[in-house]
Structure 1
Amino acid sequence: MLYIVVDGGKNVKTTIAKVGQFVEREVTIGAWIAGKRSSGKIAFLQLRDGTGFIQGVVVKAEVGEGIFQQAKNITQESSLYVSGVVRADDRAPSGYELTITKIEVIHEATDYPITPKEHGTEFLMDHRHLWLRSKRQHAVMKIRNEIIRATYQFFNENDFVKIDPPILTGSSPEGTSELFHTKYFDEDAYLSQSGQLYMEAAAMALGRVFSFGPTFRAEKSKTRRHLIEFWMIEPEMAFVEFDENLEIQEQYVSYIVQSVIKNCQLELKVLGRDISKLEQIKAPFPRITYDDALAFLHEKGFDDISWGDDFGAPHETAIAEHYDMPVFITHYPTSLKPFYMQPDPNREDVVLCADLIAPEGYGEIIGGSERIHNYEMLKENIESHNLSLDAYQWYLELRKYGSVPHSGFGLGLERTVAWISGVEHVRETIPFPRLLNRLYP
């Protein structure tokens, strides 16, 4: 990091995250006031700068009446340059404290709407642009960022190439009607609900690829697991069949969980996350077939579900709680899954697919499968699903020119962030959530 020296070389301009490098030295930090309290002789300022939080201590006897009154009167979310000496303090969450010597107010905020009192969810959502500044939301966003960083590292280390599929498409990858329609000049177009089909084309060119980008589902759901706009990590791999696909998934999930434990200790502590539950998340993960999962649910008294029905949140939670680990549910009925999934060669009524269910009630975080690589079989499936052969002609051609067995999966970032960070609702895991009745801010 580039440090800026000020005040004739005695003072270093830095960030809260880096103050540990300057213990017993004077630094200057650009920050905002997250909170404050004071007595007759000492003022405590809770400072944040985006990289972290630190307490600044202003001692009246050391700084004089002017600076002390400035500290007492400064308002929540005012911005300032603050100078002071970095002190090691084992009682502080970050391990450091700042003994303030100088305050330069940049902008004084007035009537900041999010006060230390309790606020309702709708109020906080209306003020999401400000709620992001809170310590809790800061922690969630830092964990989200670490998962993204670790994702790139994992796939780069394993020879995957990053590819960006289009967001505007002419057809549905899933063959559903839950799409956002728009006009593309004189044609119909849709916001993408998955980049998978395009990633298959990329895999035929580059072997192992992954994408990371926004996807959209026009699904009128209000559950704590659903968003209208969310981000997906979608790897696709040539010459990878079903079992190897599952192995790559569990290695990837284990990798990002352990990266968060290693690099986000303070954030997990802020959120009150039980790290012991995360520490046991290591490959391999248990696997259970759809048939065995259905039998298990019947044993547990779930009589509302029959073969051919999809599992709902209560069913997934019951299965996950039994293992207390991410668990693969494999070999779903063909009727429940999209047209491109490879049938089990030993049983045509199920496909070579798996959903990865997170523990602690967070539900499905990954869906994946081996893809059909036979031209005639895929063509027949497209027709049987009443999809346009013309719209999928380019996709079919991937099976016409050097087709190979290939597999892939998609991980929903926000559900994964919710699970790893331990927050209840996915609306806290994306900077500006788009929900059924929310397009603001």
Structure 2
Amino acid sequence: MFRVYEASGRLDKRQISYRGNNVFEPIEDVQATLFTPDICKKRLQDIIFSEHFRHLHIIDNLVFLATVEYFSSIGAQWCNLPLTTLMISSPGEVYQGKILDYNTDSLPIQIDWFDLNRKVFLSESSQFYLELRLLQENVEMVFSIYNSFRKEKADFSHLSEFQHIEFEGKIGYEENIKIAFDILKFITNKIISSAPKSLKYFLSEDEVEMLSTTFEYRNLARISFKEALHALYVDTSDERYKKFSLEHFGAWEEVRLTQIFNAHIILEEFPLLQTSFYHNELRKDEHGIPLSESADLILMGFREVIGSGVRIQNYEALLEKASIFNLPKDDYYPYLEMRKLNPYQKTSGFGLGWQRYTQWLLKLPYIWDAVHIPRGHILPAP
């Protein structure tokens, strides 16, 4: 099977190993490698002289062209959007204080905006502004391809600045998931047909052949988060997975789940208050815990590449969630008020991490090898 990583070990002796490709040898513990200034210092020479980055350039261009072609084919329109914002889509760690026990939100990057003495952020998602565009008459589906910023240290699968392919439409949950899965298939097939030489620089003939069929629906498993935790508990006997929480769910668990099910994973029905505040409530479980109408797509032998979901439509419900997350209502006023407008319809959408996808596609050990000029927590260079 087409796998980048293997998750092995039990309890506190766990590791994620890298399987290797035509360029990189296998690595026993990929998480042990740190993003350092030396990587950035060497990058200037690499861009000029390395065959790796010449082929990556070709692949990147095709990701862009295929994305635009696919979205155009389904009637989605591109949007020009801001990179600075008062509204961040994952505000939990900034505003929630001690209200929630656990939340997976990451910190945004705050900037000085002229002489304003208030929080202004670099966008970590274009979603809010895509939703605003859908208020226009006859605009049914939109997308953007932009940089996103998150104040988290770079590691083997995270960058502090990355490219985000985002989609929003006046569609339901199931159609949204189908579009998310289909765009991955479309981009992959476009690269296979248009850049076989660049693919085969990184991958074997057999691996390219696996790619050509990997996005058939027989290779996709859909499971609830509760089912995922149970599968992990059966697999590891780790008592932590008996707790219905995202607290102990990370890279190792994502990779391991794809091994258990031998498939790409659509993971859904998360604890609502541990996801982004705008996710709609699907239902309550048997214990009265609200579950989110959202899903992550985890690629086989890899990590989450797409996060998706249905947005809250009801004004009062969204206002209540904003209060739970302790959001400043003046900043989020436009997002709240749009629910009161007559043209407003419930929307669904997703965000696709460009470099995550490229890292998986080319079976690269580190995400900083999936971008020409990586940005992490060290001094930006070159």
TM-score by length of 1: 0.69
CA–CA distance in structure 2, aligned partners of residues 194 and 245 of structure 1:
17
CA distance in 2, matches of 1:151, 1:325: 24
Is 1:131 aligned to residue 42 of structure 2?
Answer: no
1:375 maps to a residue whose letter is Y
C-alpha separation in 1, matches of 2:198 and 2:142: 31
Cα offset, 1:346, TM superposition: 5.3
Q: Secondary structure at the match of 2:329?
A: coil
Aligned to 1:341: 279
8 Å CA contact retained: 1:340, 1:381: yes
Shift of 1:247: 1.0
Contact 2:37 2:378 in 1 (8 A): no
The structure-2 alpha-carbon separation of the partners of 1:222 and 1:230, relative to structure 1 and needing over 3 Å to count, comes to: closer
| TM superposition shift of 1:197 | 0.7
Structure-2 residue corresponding to 1:182 = 111
1:204 aligned counterpart, secondary structure: coil
Q: 1:88-167 residue pairs with structure 2 within 5 A?
A: 123=38, 125-133=40-48, 134-167=50-83
Alpha-carbon RMSD across the aligned residues, in angstroms, is 1.8
CA contact (8 A) 1:143 1:421 kept: no
The whole-number CA distance in structure 1 between the counterparts of 2:314 and 2:185 is: 33
Question: Unaligned regions of 5+ residues in structure 1, if any?
Answer: 1-119
Q: 1:435 aligns with which of 372, 376, 382?
A: 376
Contact 2:202 2:362 in 1 (8 A): yes
CA distance in structure 2 between the partners assigned to 1:313 and 1:145 by the alignment: 28
Higher helix share: 2
Cα separation, 1, equivalents of 2:365 and 2:110: 31
Greater Cα shift, 262-271 or 227-236: 262-271
Superposition pairs for residues 214-293 of structure 1, below 5 Å?
A: 214-219=147-152, 221-238=153-170, 240-273=171-204, 274-284=207-217, 285-293=220-228
Question: How far has the Cα of 1:230 moved from its partner?
Answer: 0.3
- 2:305 is equivalent to residue 365 of structure 1: yes
| Moved segments of 4+, more than 4 Å | 120-124
User: By how many angstroms is 1:253 displaced?
Assistant: 1.1
CA-to-partner distance for each residue in 1:230-268, whole Å, 9 max, x for gaps? 000110001x11111111111111111111111121011
Deviation at 1:438, TM superposition (A): 4.0
1:4-153 to structure 2, matched below 5 A, reads: 123=38, 125-133=40-48, 134-153=50-69
Q: RCO (CA 8 Å, sep 6+): is it higher in 1 or 2? A: 2
Q: CA deviation at 1:190?
A: 1.0
> Does residue 248 of structure 2 align to residue 307 of structure 1?
no
What secondary structure, in the 3-state scheme, does the structure 2 residue paired with 1:398 have? helix
SS in 1 for 2:236: coil
| Alignment TM-score, normalising by the size of structure 2 | 0.80
Task: Report the CA distance between 1:324 and its aligned residue.
Answer: 3.8
* Secondary structure of 1:408's aligned partner: strand
Distance in 2 between the 1:159 and 1:272 partners? 33
Residue 317 of structure 2 aligns with an amino acid whose one-letter code is M
Q: How many angstroms apart in 1 are the aligned matches of 2:293 and 2:251? A: 22
Partner Cα separation in structure 1 for residue 148 and residue 36 of structure 2: 25
Helix, strand or coil for the counterpart of 1:308?
coil
In the TM superposition, what is the alpha-carbon distance from 1:222 to its structure 2 partner? 4.0
Give the conservation status (yes or no) of the 8 Å contact 1:141–1:429: no
Contact 2:154 2:160 in 1 (8 A): no
SS in 2 for 1:150: helix
Q: How many equivalent pairs are there?
A: 319
For 2:223 and 2:237, locate their aligned partners in 1 and report how far apart those are by CA, in whole Å. Answer: 17
Does 2:291 correspond to 1:350?
Answer: yes
- Aligned residue for 1:230, secondary structure, equals strand
Of all paired residues, the percent bearing the same amino acid is 27
Give the secondary-structure state (helix, strand or coil) at the position aligned to 1:225: coil
What's the offset of the Cα at 1:142? 1.5
